[in-house]
Amino acid sequence: MNSLLELRKRGQSVWLDYIRRDLIRNGELKRLIDDDGLRGVTSNPSIFEIAIDDSTEYDEALRAMFARNPNIEARELYDTLSIEDVRDATDILRPAYNESGGLDGFVSIEPPPQLTRDTKATIEEGQRLWRTVDRPNLMIKVVSTPEGVQAVEALIAAGVNVNITLMFSMAHYEAVAGAYIRGLKRCSAPEKIASVASFFVSRVDTQVDKALDTLGSPEALALRGKIAIANSKKVYQRFREIFAGDDFSALRKKGAHVQRPLWASTSTKNPRYRDVLYVEELIGPETVNTIPPATMKAFRDHGQVRGDMIQENLPEADAQLQALSKLGIDLNAIADKLQVDGVAAFASAYDRVLAALEKKQHKMQVAGTSR
């Protein structure tokens, strides 16, 4: 039995943390939907950078754009190519969107990361992308900085689906869930809105494990590889409290959907840990796991679905987080730094995409003049 299909039976949707043109056009995305029950796609500039720099799959489209406008800027190139890919992917996933009643079948696209600290610009760019892609199963990806949280509320109120990303702590999560509910209360058609709260997992263990290794005591070393899952379990508990509570009940009666937690960064970074650790341990209803291709392949091959693991061993998760605090390790401070570092990494990847496009443009122009 395909373990990926088992996840859907547990109420969890599998999304792919990967997008590029050949995946869409060679039939692989459709195969993943048909064979593995794939229900969505997320994207980021890093993947696009590799596709531009290390392949020829975008060359035909780039030559056509250069022929129309030899001086076209790299930002416009990226915008055009990424929108084309996302639009094509949403069309392929549209049946999943229709069949799920608007719960699944989504593809995410993000405003330039340099806008992360600018609420007004994020709102404007999010609305522009929403209008330009013009698909109901699009999500605008917004970073959960304080400025981004304000943008989330405004976009939800305007009827835009949002994927809020780079959350690492309970404080990050609660701010995002609150923005979603406030936005729905201002929205004229809350039943048409979908949103996910992308909570990052493995990066937490990467940073916490470094601090634990530095301490080196038996108590510290016993917590290695435990905190990211414990952190996620606590967030899931809070999700259930918020969306089963009075503040959401009136919206639920109007047909509004809960904002599902989406587990992100679920590839295993530490080779000492099981390669499907952050999939197996985060299974639960009304959740999404966005999985990179290698981890998806591994889970298909040997992943184990033992039940709703996200709701198992909750006292143990509490004890692990308390033990971490007693050791003097501040998880909130680590989470805030991870968010800052994540924003910087997104911005750096975006800059590298533009540089790769400029490099490709120069090569094509040189090749054209030498003929």
- Short-list 122, 164, 159, 353, CA closest to 256: 159
Q: How far is the C-alpha of 153 from the C-alpha of 176, rounded, in Å? A: 9
End-to-end CA separation in angstroms for the chain: 55
Q: Compute CA distances 241 → 46, 108, 228, 248, whole Å.
A: 35, 27, 20, 10
142: part of which helix (H) or strand (E)?
strand 138-143
Residue 246 CB coordination number (10 Å): 6
User: Positive or negative CA dihedral for 51, 18, 81, 78?
Assistant: negative
Q: What is the DSSP string of 155-170?
A: HHHTT--EEEEEE-SH
Residue given tokens 């999304």 in the structure block: 15
Residue 10, SS3 per DSSP? coil
Catalytic residue among 9, 30, 141, 192: 141
What is the amino acid identity at position 208?
A: V
Give the burial class of 86: count Cβ atoms within 10 A of its Cβ; 0-12 exposed, 13-18 middle, 19 or more buried.
buried
Point out which residues pair with 200 in neighbouring strands.
Answer: 264
Sign of CA dihedral 170, 175, 180, 181: positive
**Rounded CA gap, 156 and 136, in Å?**
13
CA distances from 207 to 167, 224, 227, 234, 333 (A): 15, 10, 10, 19, 11
141 is catalytic: yes
Map 30-43 to HEC letters.
HHHHHHHCCCEEEC
Alpha helices in 69-169 (DSSP H): 74-99, 119-133, 146-157
The residues annotated as belonging to the active site are: 141
